[in-house]
Structure 1
Amino acid sequence: MATEFPPIPLTGVPFPKAEYERRQKKVLNAMERVGLDALLVTAHGHLRYLTGYHGFGGYFAPFPLILVQGQKPTYVVREYEMQVVRAESCIDEIIAYTQQHDFAKVCADVLRRYGLQKRTVGLELGCWNLAPADVSALQAQLPELRISDATRVIASVAAVKSELELEAMRDAMTSTDLAICAFQQSLREGVTELEAADTIEREVKKAGGELWRWYSLSFGDRTKLPHGPPAHYAIRNNEPAIIEIGGAKWGYAAGLVRSAVLGRHPEIESLHDLAVAALEAAIAAIKPGVAAGEVDAAARSVITRSGRQQVFRHRTGYQNGIHWAERGNLSLEPTAADLLEANMTLHMPIVLFAESGHLVGCSESVLVTERGAEVLSRRPHTLYRA
């Protein structure tokens, strides 16, 4: 007697296929502008943006989506992952490789089929999930292939969000705001970071929301550790707390940084005021046509005028959306020349280093509009005092 199995719960792609086709067409247009005959997309966030599939199976070797003008997109994936890629992507043309060493040969075969073995092909050389050995192996298969760095091609397209994407970002921020509220309400003497995290996750889940899979939360002296995950540390009176967390919807994350003090902490309170002033200056500088470096300069000038330049040790912000952020995307940093456009979304964490070593700060995720910046959160970025 044959065993009957229950049906597999498939999530499918979150957006209509037409939305992905629109994105692919915009990328193809961008490729044409920079002189690429083909593009191998390997960054997980960019794969999800163009196909719906999260791309995490690509830990084994890259899962390139091959885009060629006039051809259907071709996904080259590990055979082990074929079923999930078919179920959770919008791509019909899927070609498999089995072992890690097969990756370059199978990719090369696809490029030969399209007559590209002597043409210019873009690789995302500045993104995660493409090792130098992968590039070398592909070049060995196709010695006359001209490889061009295409790190920014998809980033420049994905920076400008559609209405469907903005809806996802707003829904994600609803969960973020709920998480921040739960964090603040959990602060009492003796509560541990893990207990606060449990409260946050429970409240978001109860409301039907979702959190991005990673977040940082720390109390007391552990706030000296950037990006610290929650641990068994219990907060004491007159200690600070900091959280960086984001709700998620369909792979889109909307992050926020918020700080708090249980009782009083004059050093943290003073430095947080500076973080607020820098953040608000950066938000005020945002509008279409402004260079990313100008936004960074607006925040940095506030800190410079305070005479405490050493407290700010990173960029002002970055393009956000799918997968929180992707290496190689637009960055709000000194001298960055990228021009802001309407419907871009940005996360701007102003986190400062106190003399004591504690980290304190705040952030906003914002939408660039024709009039300036729309702050997506409804939670104030002032210091929370418990």
Structure 2
Amino acid sequence: MATTFSASSSAGSPFPRSEYERRHREVFEAMARASLDALLVTAHGHLRYLTGYDGLGGYFMPFPLVLAPGRKPTYVVREYEVNGVRVESCIDEIVAYVQQQDFAKVCADVLRNYGLENRRVGFELGCWNLAPADVIALQAQLPNMKVADATRVVPSVSVVKSELEIKAMRDAMAITDVAVRTFLAALRDGVTEVEVAAAIHGEVRIADGDDVRLFSLGFGERNKLPHAKPTCHPIRNNEPAMIEVGGIKRAYAAGLVRSAVLGRHPETESLYALAEETLEAALAAIKPGVTAGEVDAVGRKVIGRSGRPEVFRHRTGYQIGINWGERGNLSLEPGAPDLLLAGMTLHMPIILFSESGYLFGCSETVLVTESGAEILSRTPHTLYRA
């Protein structure tokens, strides 16, 4: 039912093995602070951060990375995916299961062999890719195991970037800037969203980007849709356009929101002016030692002074890097207690809602430095008028 593999080549990992070993050490330190005897990492972004493998084969069942002090990190995966995991990850110890119903027993056997059947084991309960049924099945196999919520353990480490990661973020932002410049240059009466999307993908390939993610691309009335996907809808004179896009380099994403108006559109232009003021105030508040909630409060204060509090319906920003975003990661939202530290990278999307339903705004991805926020993009966040 279970097969053990070893000697991963790690040839496909985007970073040297030493970088992953550093990450593992820091996660073990975070586990000790959380009084965990072991950790099961299941969120795709966290798996990629710790192994190099994107985790996408885990759509069928979780692919937990088992971390326990004194033991080599162990990946529990479907046998079907073993070769991909061996090539793309830095993990030497791989234990495989065959069928979905085998997962709980095989994973429980790993934990039992590591002497964890009566210990406190952390699970990423607040992340994607771990279902309640998975935890219940494991507990049925190990009834004396103590389940602890370890949602924030890996993010507490990954939020502060190494020099290698910062280089990847800068490279990703260079690709994002190519995408944004292509978007702006393509705007003309009658051009469609899919035509602009195709132009973006083409220019990103020429620029040697690994990939580009279009979170949103909408023209005119379709800017009333959150995360609008490109369609054959054209833009016309005196209509707005907005894009949220992120270039990808070595799995790291750098997001940007940019907006434009073809001609004039007073409703969204007014909304944009408020979004820009809010963004600039929040950026000015970023420095090591302030809390995520304090930065969020600065932005909300600008919105409050405008007399239009209903236009802001989400958080001010969030941790960005591997996999763009992950549920459970650091979030700049009301009351968030997390302290900002030098080396963090944050995406700050200020997208506001007009009274008639338009979404419009701007963003920056920034590196937190000892002197404040360093904007990574070279594309100004001023409103583009075509």
TM-score, structure 1 as length reference: 0.97
Match of 1:78 in 2: 78
Match of 1:37 in 2: 37
Amino acid at match of 2:90: C
Match of 1:289 in 2: 289
Q: How big is each residue's C-alpha offset from its partner over 1:224-248, in whole Å with a ceiling of 9 and x where there is no partner?
A: 0000110010001100001000000
Is contact 1:176–1:211 with CA below 8 Å preserved after alignment?
no
Measure, in 1, the Cα distance between the counterparts of 2:332 and 2:114.
38
Match of 1:99 in 2: 99
Match of 2:303 in 1: 303
Amino acid at match of 1:147: V
Match of 2:62 in 1: 62
Measure, in 2, the Cα distance between the counterparts of 1:346 and 1:210.
21
Is contact 1:47–1:53 with CA below 8 Å preserved after alignment?
yes
Measure, in 1, the Cα distance between the counterparts of 2:211 and 2:90.
24
Match of 1:222 in 2: 222
Measure, in 2, the Cα distance between the counterparts of 1:292 and 1:12.
35
Measure, in 2, the Cα distance between the counterparts of 1:271 and 1:220.
15
Q: Secondary structure at the match of 2:152?
A: helix
Shift of 1:301: 0.4
Shift of 1:214: 4.3
Question: Which residues in structure 2 correspond to 1:175-254 (within 5 Å)?
Answer: 175-254=175-254
Q: How big is each residue's C-alpha offset from its partner over 1:172-231, in whole Å with a ceiling of 9 and x where there is no partner?
A: 000000100000000000000000001111111111123334431010000000001100
Match of 1:380 in 2: 380
Measure, in 2, the Cα distance between the counterparts of 1:298 and 1:210.
35
Identity percentage over the alignment?
Answer: 71
Match of 2:359 in 1: 359
Measure, in 2, the Cα distance between the counterparts of 1:287 and 1:52.
30
Shift of 1:267: 1.1
Amino acid at match of 2:177: D
Measure, in 2, the Cα distance between the counterparts of 1:11 and 1:299.
44
Is contact 2:363–2:381 with CA below 8 Å preserved after alignment?
yes
Q: Structure 1 213/277 Cα, relative in aligned 2: closer, same or farther at 3 Å?
A: closer
Unaligned runs of 5+ in 1: 1-9
Amino acid at match of 1:103: F
Measure, in 1, the Cα distance between the counterparts of 2:273 and 2:314.
18
Shift of 1:269: 0.9
Amino acid at match of 2:338: D
Measure, in 1, the Cα distance between the counterparts of 2:190 and 2:214.
24
Across the aligned residues of Structure 1 and Structure 2, the Cα RMSD in angstroms comes to 0.9
Is contact 2:210–2:250 with CA below 8 Å preserved after alignment?
no
Match of 2:6 in 1: none
Measure, in 1, the Cα distance between the counterparts of 2:313 and 2:135.
33
Q: How big is each residue's C-alpha offset from its partner over 1:287-318, in whole Å with a ceiling of 9 and x where there is no partner?
A: 00100000000111001000010000000000
